[in-house]
Amino acid sequence: MTPELAHDLKAAVRTIPDYPKPGIMFRDITTLLGDPRAFRRAVDELVQPWAGSKIDKVAGIEARGFIIGGAIAHQVSSGFVPIRKKGKLPHTCVSMEYALEYGTDIIEIHVDALQPGERVILVDDLIATGGTAEGAIKLLRHIGAEVVAACFIVDLPDLGGAAKIRSMGVPVRTLVEFGGH
């Protein structure tokens, strides 16, 4: 990706100071999603390393990961699998508890969403501490998926999430970085 493209994509992300609490700089991708050119370029850049590869499914983390993941699944001609918070999926589920900054949460996937050995790309809008993505990778692996990569538009490298995912043996693709929180 060229520095110009990275700059353009970064400029398309809105920063909202002190949300959801004082001291946090919230990186809002809805402005990027609303810009047809930026959205298309972001999807194209996220899938570029896997273009032509056999990808069976794209798994998107609730909720912005659904938007990006659906577009990526379309680009790589694969199916899409939602990873949701506990209690949101209507069929029999497999669950995984994961660590948050202050506590834990649970994510779920339908038990029949993937077949063992299927090649999956995990997608979300942003990687911060990596807790949710780590839980999602463990969940996908638990049901037998091969996690080929994890893709995020935004990386907050100071929080270490991308490094955590790489330490799990999963390649990480991000498009823009923001220092701090």
60 found inside a domain: yes
- Residue 57: CB atoms within 10 A of its CB come to 23
Q: Between 156 and 4, where is the model more confident? A: 156
61 found inside a domain: yes
Q: Report CA-CA distances (Å) from 60 to 1, 21, 122, 123, 151.
A: 23, 26, 6, 5, 10
Residue 72 structural domain: 53-177
Query: What is the tens place of the pLDDT at every residue in 71-84?
Result: 999 999 999 999 99
168 found inside a domain: yes
* Active-site residue flag, 45: no
35 found inside a domain: no
pLDDT surpasses 70 at 181: no
pLDDT-derived band at 31 (thresholds 50, 70, 90) equals: very high
pLDDT of residue 134: 97
Query: What is the tens place of the pLDDT at every residue in 89-128?
Result: 999 999 999 988 778 999 999 999 999 999 999 999 999 9
The percentage of the chain sitting over the pLDDT mark of 90, rounded to a whole number, equals: 88
Indicate the residue type of 154. Answer: V
CATH number at residue 161: 3.40.50.2020
Q: In the chain, how many domains are there?
A: 1
* Active-site residue flag, 101: yes
Q: What angle do CA 47, 34, 148 make, to 5 degrees?
A: 20
18 found inside a domain: no
pTM of the shown model: 0.95
157 found inside a domain: yes
86 found inside a domain: yes
- Residue 66: CB atoms within 10 A of its CB come to 18
Indicate the residue type of 25. Answer: M
pLDDT-derived band at 6 (thresholds 50, 70, 90) equals: confident
Among 27, 41, 45, 64, the active-site one is 64
pLDDT surpasses 80 at 46: yes
Alpha-carbon distance 29 to 69, whole Å? Answer: 14
94 found inside a domain: yes
Pairing relationship of beta strands 57-61 and 14-17 according to DSSP bridges: unpaired
Nearest to 154 by CA among 132, 173, 136, 133: 173
Query: What is the tens place of the pLDDT at every residue in 130-153?
Result: 999 999 999 999 999 999 999 999
